[in-house]
Structure 1
């Protein structure tokens, strides 16, 4: 059973989410919070597996909630569910510990699948959120020593990871580094394996969270 806490300042939204999620055999909505501060307190007392978190809330907003959860050592899987489409919100939320970033226009059945996916350990982004992550500004790879698995990357693999995080294709990376595209494919495979991630989007998320991009 997946224990879910809903944090949203709109009662109608909370009720709608609860009504639909409670229909699922494997989901149990254990509580609702109307603001970020209440969400943190309920996470501490109810220990949900997944927190559905709106970004724009009174008292403490979604990003502040993520930060405070981290400060208190509370580690639910957090799925941001917001109606706000500001691209600049995506990277800070993922860097602060969110496991997914979706928008409220998502199909209800897809939302349930997202809750299950995030609970199982996957990182999930709406297409617009993934695009925002991959098209953001990229810093020089000087900070690439940060993050546990990144230490095992070679200098060239760190360069490739930085370029992945900038949204470059294998062909574009090959052109940038003046190497064969086949060589880039090998580097990308090695980066994914060493970071323990499944795809380029997750690699880009890792880079953002650990100061590599």
Structure 2
């Protein structure tokens, strides 16, 4: 079977789902789509944390409904243990508040289990390319994840009332990067990044990073992945 996705580097994927049959099915699908990737299965967040402690993971797909500990609690634990790990919620639930709460906690996206094979592949392609994925139910209009009708690609900082440097900081922040990582990528100090964040917060009318990310999605703004080295 021809793979639907290609990657340029080895990829380790962690799949956390307490239902064996569902987990096995998704793992098989991932192997078909990404034959060079290694998929690690876990029935709980604790098992996933143990795997992450011995294996460098690139992507985690985390079910929302887990026994004893829900996926949002698990998301917070995974991001605390592995801040640079790209975590995507994978669920049969598509409640808007649940989706945005996951973003506030650091998720890169929210992929519904109801997607077709092709839609699932497209969603994975987005998050692997550094573009957050949201279900249509979380944004206005459309029948699949971002970009959707009503969403708009923004390439000019002036459209958002930002300076070019503020725009670059925002683009990296939406990708889930922390201040230290953004500073390294832009070749500036961490304090300089913080100095840029203050006017960005003010212009979007928010007080925290998570609120800023949610505001960007709620306004249908699609920034795309920044160019490495910018």
Is TM more than 0.5 here?
Answer: yes
- Residue number among 67, 70, 83 corresponding to 2:79 in the alignment: 70
1:122 counterpart SS class? coil
- Per-residue CA distance 1:65-116 (angstroms, 9 max, x = gap): 1111222244321111100132221121111111011210111222223223
- Residue number among 54, 58, 63 corresponding to 1:45 in the alignment: 54
Q: Contact 1:83/1:103 (CA < 8 Å) preserved in 2?
A: yes
CA–CA distance in 1 between the matches of 2:92 and 2:75? 18
1:35 aligns with 2:38: no
The structure richer in helix per residue is: 1
CA–CA distance in 1 between the matches of 2:170 and 2:37? 30
Gaps of 5+ in 1: 133-167, 171-184
**After the TM superposition, which segments of 4 or more aligned residues of structure 1 sit over 6 Å from their partners?**
none
Identify the residue that residue 197 of structure 1 maps to in structure 2: 171
Question: Which protein is bigger by CA-based radius of gyration?
Answer: 1
Q: May I ask how many residue pairs the two structures share in their alignment?
A: 163
- Per-residue CA distance 1:36-86 (angstroms, 9 max, x = gap): 222222222222211111111013221111111222244321111100132
Q: 1:23 to 1:211 in 2, by over 3 A?
A: closer
Structure 2 counterparts to residues 20-169 of structure 1, below 5 A: 20-25=29-34, 27-131=36-140
Q: Contact 1:44/1:74 (CA < 8 Å) preserved in 2?
A: no
CA–CA distance in 1 between the matches of 2:36 and 2:96? 30
CA–CA distance in 2 between the matches of 1:44 and 1:82? 25
- After TM superposition, the score normalised by the length of structure 2 is 0.59
Identify the residue that residue 176 of structure 1 maps to in structure 2: none
Q: 1:86 to 1:119 in 2, by over 3 A?
A: same
Give the aligned CA root-mean-square deviation in angstroms.
Answer: 3.6
1:48 counterpart SS class? coil
Cα shift at 1:120: 2.2
1:188 aligns with 2:160: yes
Gaps of 5+ in 2: 1-9, 142-149, 177-199, 216-230
Identify the residue that residue 210 of structure 1 maps to in structure 2: 210
CA–CA distance in 2 between the matches of 1:102 and 1:131? 17
Which deviates more from structure 2 when the two are superposed, residues 19-28 or residues 188-197?
188-197
